[in-house]
């Protein structure tokens, strides 16, 4: 399993649109991708659950990927967070 930590800079946090794009991104990989905030972990492919985490600006989340393409997945997800959130 690979993972990284990220602190959200976007003013609105992981709001509707980036959440939607993030789900699209995560669905590209075979690996199971998850996001953890505090003690809650959700799959990155679950849009509404992801939104329900209510990740705000300044929150630190952990993103993990586990599976055959986990290296690529983590690299691309990291790039996604840095560019969009």
Window contacting other proteins (CB under 8 A); options: 8-16, 31-39, 61-69, 70-78: 8-16
Of the two residues 46 and 62, which places its CB atom closer to other proteins in the complex? Answer: 46
Q: Is 15 a catalytic residue?
A: yes
Q: Which of 41, 24, 39 is nearest to 76 (CA)?
A: 24
Of the two residues 55 and 77, which places its CB atom closer to other proteins in the complex? Answer: 55
Q: Compute how many other C-beta atoms are within 10 angstroms of the C-beta atom of residue 79.
A: 11
Does 28 participate in binding other proteins (rule CB under 8 A)? no
What does R_g of the chain's alpha carbons equal in angstroms? 11
């Amino acid at each position: 399993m690979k993972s990284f930590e990220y602190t959200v800079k976007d003013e609105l946090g992981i709001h509707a649109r980036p959440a939607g794009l993030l789900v699209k991104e995560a669905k590209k990989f075979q690996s199971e991708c998850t996001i953890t905030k505090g003690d809650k972990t959700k799959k990155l492919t679950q849009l509404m659950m992801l939104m329900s985490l209510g990740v705000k600006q300044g929150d630190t989340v952990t993103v993990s990927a586990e599976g055959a393409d986990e290296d690529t997945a983590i690299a691309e997800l990291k790039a996604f967070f840095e560019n969009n959130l």
